[in-house]
Amino acid sequence: MAETDYYVMGQVCVAKEHRGSGIFSAMYQHHKQLFSGKFKYCLTAISTSNPRSLQAHKKVGFRTIETYDDSVDAWNTVAWNWE
């Protein structure tokens, strides 16, 4: 990844009453539309203790490329290939 242009997305939280509405996927599709001309990948980190988030990201097209531990939790680094 060091020689590839990528975009790092921060954490996403969707209120319970809006889960399943498509807002999560729509937001990521909009990011792809805005930034895919400049970046090959979109990356983010997801706590391994949050399977709901990991599943939502996989549904959009993200794949786990690394898992690591820090002092708080274990994390999946996920990437979505925009090419």
Q: What is the DSSP letter of 79?
A: E
DSSP per-residue letters across 38-64: T-SEEEEEEETT-HHHHHHHHHHT-EE
Which DSSP helix (H) or strand (E) runs through 24?
A: helix 23-35
pTM for the model: 0.88
Tell me what pLDDT residue 77 has.
Answer: 97
Which pLDDT tens digit goes with each residue over 31-81? 999 999 999 999 999 999 999 999 999 999 999 999 999 999 999 999 999
Give yes or no for residue 1 having a pLDDT over 80.
Answer: no
Confidence of residue 11 (pLDDT cuts 50, 70, 90): confident
pLDDT at residue 3, rounded to an integer: 81
